[in-house]
Amino acid sequence: MKQFLKFSMLTFIVTQPGIPQKYNDALISKGSEINFAKTQKRGIKKNNIIYYVENDLQTISAYKSNKLKWQTNVISVCGTPKRGEPQIRYVGYNDSNKLLIVMGKHNFAEIDINSGITKLVG
């Protein structure tokens, strides 16, 4: 019976990729941007909301009071970059309520910080 329970739990975890991970507080930057080429940080905290790049390096989640506010897979929404890996390389927060995203080599996206609406901008 123990083996069955272990297998069932493992199967659930593996087959549920849409469940967001709990972010790691040590990986949250105090600054307004993260560049994965220069830092191991994975998230930005701004106005008590954490914007966190998940382990797949394609999904960004917004957490408020440790609860998921929204989540978006930037690569799925914007498409696979023509050059470079299909993953997020840079996240920056600007004063116009947008997250600025660089993915692949030269693809840019914006995410509305209130709704999570994502769009390719170049």
From first to last of its 122 residues, what are the pLDDT tens digits of the chain?
A: 444 434 333 333 333 344 445 778 889 998 999 999 999 999 999 989 999 999 999 999 999 988 999 999 999 999 999 899 999 999 999 878 899 999 998 899 999 999 999 999 98
The amino acid sitting at 44 is I
The amino acid sitting at 97 is N
For the full predicted model, state whether its pTM sits above 0.85.
no
Structural contact between residues 92 and 100, judged by C-beta atoms closer than 8 angstroms: yes
Structural contact between residues 72 and 113, judged by C-beta atoms closer than 8 angstroms: no
Hey, what domains does the chain have and what are their CATH numbers? 29-120 (2.40.10.480)
Structure tokens at 77: 């929404």
